[in-house]
Amino acid sequence: MSNEQSSTRFSNPAPLGLAGFALTTWLLSMINAGWFTADSMNLVLAVALAYGGTAQMIAGIMELPRNNTFGATAFLSYGAFWWSFALFVLFLHDKVPGAFVGWYLFMWGVFTFYMWIGSLAAARVLQMVFLALSITFFLLAAGEWTGMSVLHVAGGYVGLLTAAFAFYLSAAEIINEAHQRVVLPIGAPTAAR
């Protein structure tokens, strides 16, 4: 590797991916929490395809040359989640049993739970994003399985909290880098990577 290549500094794609995730999660969670009806879903789908899915895919690909397996896996996976969610709602929603949708959500919860375990070596705010998202998926899955709307609403509210954590982390990474100091704390990593 030449000196020119070894000194190349790649920009941090995490704020982009986190913002795409946060905005889309916030919009969907407002519907899940009952603030808006399903009539608002078309805007969520547009954002899921154009920002939530695409921005996270771009961020995930940008993590690859940075050798960040965790970031690449997280952003590419949740980007794919938003694309699959939009495709499901657009084309398959009335063709899939609710119990199977519950399994879809539950397995995303399982993935998110082990990503949370992986995040325990990272900043505390990132840990909170993955913990809250795990709970969101499990509540929404339980709501699909039981038909209890209170679980779906609870999942919506925890989803709003998830989005708030992700927005905060995105903002902190942008603002802290721009000012070259800690303006918004994110909590020191709990262990060395």
DSSP string, 54-122: HHHHHHHHHHTTTT-HHHHHHHHHHHHHHHHHHHIIIIIGGGS-HHHHHHHHHHHHHHHHHHHHHHTTS
Task: State residue 190's pLDDT score.
Answer: 56
Task: State residue 169's pLDDT score.
Answer: 97
Task: State residue 41's pLDDT score.
Answer: 97
Task: State residue 3's pLDDT score.
Answer: 46
Residues of the chain with pLDDT under 70: 1-8, 190-193
Task: State residue 7's pLDDT score.
Answer: 58
Query: 75: number of CA atoms within 13 Å, CB side?
Result: 27
